Structure 1
């Protein structure tokens, strides 16, 4: 089989993916709660390497997505053009999410689109488990990707954290917690208000809300987090 390149077609890429899939890796994915019905068993490292080889191609990305193969869909998200990716595109892709792994990978793309804040609001209000997870995965990724975003944006997200902190579904509550912790580690300016919210949640009579809050408080008050924030402040 010829080596993949920027000129490779979606069919050639999919054929290559099928040729390197691993049943052992597929079984290993189960240990992490990843659905393997649509997976070939290819590591994220290899998937990213393939994405670098084939380079960005927006039209081809949609062909890869339509294959339904999880690895092809992840590569599609890495090679699609976020500036051309619309809210409707995101809605269609999110509607097929069925595993936390694909949610977290594709949310990376969604955060780089021009409609990312609109999508967070919309997806948080959506009751489908993996669509709602998408909102909070995007929130967490935006801390990393949206470096120039004002703190006010993230402070506003706290209302969504509080509103959905009672959602006891495993893949939602973990994403809400992830988003809260990530925002609290962005800067000292955010750390204080986020910690206040975490402490409020930790005092809740609701079991899920309390877990989200307590876990966030533990990390946000830990020496590693405080040292990380100090290093960021000193670097400015």
Structure 2
């Protein structure tokens, strides 16, 4: 590590520590995250730093959750190899880091399809969930990469019993099939109605329920399809 990067890491860690709020930590800990930094303020730190891949790697290596989140935001997604992203996903200890890594790095990586195929069958529920998140992305944006009918078969057979992180992303995939592929919509609705996954999930007013039939119906309505 160069002296400049060493100093920058220390400065970022100190700034993030100064933003720590015990009340915010309490809120985050209820969702499995181990920090108390407001994410809007954290994004402002990253915005000021701009893209800096070397600094990102060093911040990630600190194993401090807010530093890892900043690292994701200032990284160059295409600079990471598939092995890098696989290692980082397995090192990510908390939900928000995993979520940002998948959405801001893996989805933008040239290795996304390779990772999707590797992760989706992984025995680790968090890694498998990342694979399903990439699958949902493919369903919406690159459906030529996936077999929609095979996905529906797998979801129908496995989603009800899947661990919570994997189940959530499988459910997203189911909803995306129904939303983006009218020719599979009827079956997607049937599967969702039969499995009843997330039907009773608490949803704030004016927000769309994650229950797949309700989600599909609302998005189709908005699209006028």
| TM-score between both structures, scaled by the size of structure 2 | 0.79
1:1-236 mapped onto 2 (5 Å cutoff): 9-31=8-30, 33-36=31-34, 39=35, 41-108=36-103, 109-140=105-136, 146=141, 149=142, 151-153=143-145, 155-156=147-148, 158=151, 161=155, 164-185=158-179, 187=180, 190-200=181-191, 202-203=193-194, 210-212=195-197, 215-220=211-216, 222=217, 224-230=218-224
Residue of structure 1 in register with 2:208 after alignment: none
Residue of structure 2 in register with 1:207 after alignment: none
SS at match of 1:212: coil
Q: CA deviation at 1:228?
A: 2.6
CA contact (8 A) 1:103 1:133 kept: no
Q: Distance between the aligned counterparts of 2:99 and 2:186, measured in 1? A: 24
Q: Distance between the aligned counterparts of 1:192 and 1:43, measured in 2? A: 43
Q: CA deviation at 1:99?
A: 2.7
Unaligned runs of 5+ in 1: 1-5, 204-209
Farther-moved stretch of structure 1 (157-166 vs 53-62): 157-166
CA contact (8 A) 2:177 2:185 kept: yes
CA deviation string 1:100-146 (max 9, x = no partner): 222211111110000101111111111112111212233345677x5
Q: CA deviation at 1:25?
A: 0.6
* Aligned positions, number: 206
Q: Distance between the aligned counterparts of 1:126 and 1:102, measured in 2? A: 19
Q: Distance between the aligned counterparts of 1:99 and 1:163, measured in 2? A: 28
CA deviation string 1:5-28 (max 9, x = no partner): x9x722211111111111111101
CA contact (8 A) 1:82 1:110 kept: yes
CA contact (8 A) 1:158 1:194 kept: no
Farther-moved stretch of structure 1 (156-165 vs 89-98): 156-165
